[in-house]
């Protein structure tokens, strides 16, 4: 692996862990509100949880970009250029020789 992919993997891992931690913190905040007998929507999520969530989202997106494979070409001419005409129109799964009779022995 080259340095770029290793760095992208580290950034992606930091982003995913940050997203999990933000989700866990939001759950803990909602449990705290429940323990205090306050309705769920009485207070908004703290700003640090929102910033951590946005940071995790940003790191996950930036870290995943170098790791994806390049897209395939969707132009038909580019894809059909890889094959011959016989290869395109050939359907070997439809060829069946079992319907013919067995070969007869010839007498010499």
What pLDDT, on the 0 to 100 scale, is given for residue 94?
67
Is residue 103 situated within a structural domain? no
Is residue 97 situated within a structural domain? no
Of 46, 56, 60, nearest to 18 by C-alpha is 56
Is residue 101 situated within a structural domain? no
Q: Which two tokens stand for residue 59?
A: 């790191």
Q: What is the pTM of this model?
A: 0.65
What pLDDT, on the 0 to 100 scale, is given for residue 69?
85
pLDDT tens by residue, the chain, 108 residues: 699 999 999 999 999 999 999 999 999 999 999 899 888 778 889 999 999 999 999 999 999 999 888 887 777 777 777 777 776 666 666 666 666 666 666 665
Is residue 106 situated within a structural domain? no
Of 67, 50, 69, 70, nearest to 10 by C-alpha is 67
Count how many domains the chain has: 1
Residue 20's domain comprises 1-92
Is residue 71 situated within a structural domain? yes
CA distance 42 to 45: 10
Is residue 73 situated within a structural domain? yes
Is residue 105 situated within a structural domain? no
Neighbouring CB atoms inside 10 A of 56's CB total 20
């Amino acid at each position: 692996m080259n340095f770029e992919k290793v760095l992208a993997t580290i950034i992606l891992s930091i982003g995913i862990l940050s997203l999990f931690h933000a989700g866990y913190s939001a759950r803990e905040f909602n449990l705290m509100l429940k323990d205090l007998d306050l309705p769920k929507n009485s207070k908004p999520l703290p700003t640090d949880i929102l910033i951590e969530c946005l940071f995790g989202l940003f790191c996950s997106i930036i870290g995943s970009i170098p790791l994806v494979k390049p897209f395939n070409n969707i132009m038909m001419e580019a894809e059909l250029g890889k094959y011959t005409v016989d290869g395109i129109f050939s359907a070997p799964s439809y060829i069946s020789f079992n319907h013919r009779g067995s070969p007869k022995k010839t007498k010499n």
